[in-house]
Amino acid sequence: MISNSDPRRRWYTRAEAAAEARVSPRTVQRWVLDGRLVERHGHINAAQLFEVERERRHARTRPAPGCTA
């Protein structure tokens, strides 16, 4: 892993990104293909990965349509 304390400068391989986000490497690959993540020289920016993961968590916690919360 290319490490740095600033997440905007930290870069993960697909396998490291998958482990960090607790998803499969295939999911990370789909995120790259969908344009949700940008891969440069085989690495994914940690800040971008954290944002995608935050959006994913938020989508899971939203109440279902029609439900009152």
Q: Which residue has the tokens 């293909």?
A: 33
pTM of the model: 0.70
Can you give the length of the chain in residues? 69
> pLDDT of 25-64, one tens digit each?
999 999 999 999 999 999 999 999 999 988 888 877 666 6
pLDDT band at residue 19 under the 50/70/90 scheme: very high
Q: Residue 33 carries which side chain, given as an amino acid letter?
A: L
Average pLDDT for 6-20: 86
Across 10-25, average pLDDT: 92
How many C-beta atoms lie closer than 10 Å to residue 12's C-beta? 24
Give the residue carrying structure tokens 């994913």: 56
